[in-house]
Amino acid sequence: MLDIKYILANREEYAQCLKNRHHDFDLGILVTLDEKRRKIIGETEDLKAKRNEGSRKIGMAKKNPDIDVESLKAEIKAMGDKIKELDTELAEVESELNHHMMTLPNRLSATTPIGEDENDNPVVRTWGEPKKFDFEPKPHWDIAEALGIMDFEKGVMLAQSRFTVLQGLGARMERALVNFMLDLHTKKHGYLEVEPPFMVRSAILEGTGQLPKFAEDLYKLQNDDLWLIPTAEVPLTNLNRESILEEKDLPKYYTAYTPCFRREAGSAGRDVRGLMRQHQFDKVEMVKICTPETSYDELEKLTSDAEDVLKTLNLPYHVVNLCSGDIGFGSAKTYDLEVWLPSQNKYREISSCSNCEDFQARRMGLRYRPSDGGRPVFAHTLNGSGIAVGRTLIAVIENYQNEDGSITVPEALVPYMDGLTRITAR
């Protein structure tokens, strides 16, 4: 959520930001509502001052018998009734204004490129060389089904399309990847491991920006104000909501493994086969809370931590800087990591690392007190996939496939697989 003072003071600049993001909204609506809000507040304050003056005169009535007390009382009552009406009107205006503010996207970093869509995302760097196969590489679903480690039909039978059953060594490798990622982030990168609830209240999703704008993409419990989390970013970032932290305690690093639940409305027809785009998937998430002065350095470190997962697994990837037409709602700047998939002969997204600046902190009331004793200010929040477990499983299966249909276990995962070095059909 942005400060309305910033939008009103930089109206043309923010209007251009909305245009660059392909977000259609007339900022004149905010101007009108803000003027109406100020007018109501002014009228209310004037009436309260007159009411106080009338009450003072009534108090003087004993010393001045010429004061018409009954008439003053009637005037004060009328003013009180009008103040109540204005308070109701103010609440309605502020509610409408807040709704619009909650649905407006973040401003963009000066280093976020302007572009139309994913085709305009510049590549920042590339790591590793795609493997050259002596045979035609197969897609992960063909390999996994032949090995009996995934069952897509049972996933549909138990739930619906875009749910999958992992079994045997498929489930084991998924668990191995989770443990490997958590160990890497906690032991090497210094994150605090957290196991948060997998369901959260509406206010928590509002804090990170999923509500109200993306409600249709989420799963809500029918009888409670609880939603299944779309990512661990939501509970992790909210751990310090409505708090004032001390600057000396920053930055804070959190990591968590959770299942994630998303409808991903509007994406039907894209990657619906296999594990690429599921309604339920596993992810290890990283979240940082820091000062504005350090947030962009922290973004580089966050991205490097996600890259370390792919480097350690020896999976080729590149990093792209998301352009204005492709960047997420709450992000000011985002790097996407895209891993090489042999069956598609292209790089595909496996992690997004974003700096939200103070956008989320304003929504959740997350501030810190500067070490110089100044007034509390809003913190900056960052989040990144560290990384998407299911998509990593896809990348391992495809990049480590063998001509006989087996899968070589990456060296980094062998200790997590009890020494197993190859998955073969049984």
Query: Does residue 267 register a pLDDT over 60?
Result: no
71 labelled catalytic: no
End-to-end CA distance of the chain: 54
Q: Give tens-digit pLDDT for 62-78.
A: 567 776 778 888 999 99
Average pLDDT over residues 215-241: 97
Average pLDDT over residues 314-331: 98
- Supply the pLDDT for residue 56: 84
Task: Catalytic residue, from 262, 362, 363, 367: name it.
Answer: 262
Query: Does residue 397 register a pLDDT over 90?
Result: yes
Query: Does residue 131 register a pLDDT over 70?
Result: yes
Helix (DSSP H) and strand (DSSP E) numbers for the chain: 12, 18
262 labelled catalytic: yes
Task: Catalytic residue, from 324, 352, 354, 385: name it.
Answer: 352
pTM: 0.93
- Place 270 in a pLDDT band, splitting at 50, 70 and 90: low
Query: Does residue 272 register a pLDDT over 70?
Result: no
Q: Which backbone phi and psi does 356 adopt, to 5 degrees?
A: -95, 0
Task: Catalytic residue, from 21, 107, 162, 277: name it.
Answer: 277
Average pLDDT over residues 194-210: 98
Average pLDDT over residues 342-348: 96
Q: Which residues contact 180 (CB under 8 A, 6 or more apart)?
A: 309, 312, 412, 413, 416
**The CA-based dihedral angle spanning residues 196, 231, 108, 38, taken in that order and rounded to the nearest 10 degrees:** -60
175 labelled catalytic: no
Query: Does residue 83 register a pLDDT over 70?
Result: yes
Contact 192, 303 (CB under 8 A): no
Q: Give tens-digit pLDDT for 354-378.
A: 999 999 999 999 999 999 989 999 9
277 labelled catalytic: yes
406 labelled catalytic: no
How confident is the prediction for the chain on average, in pLDDT? 95
Q: Chain centroid to CA 291: how far?
A: 18
Task: Catalytic residue, from 21, 51, 162, 391: name it.
Answer: 391
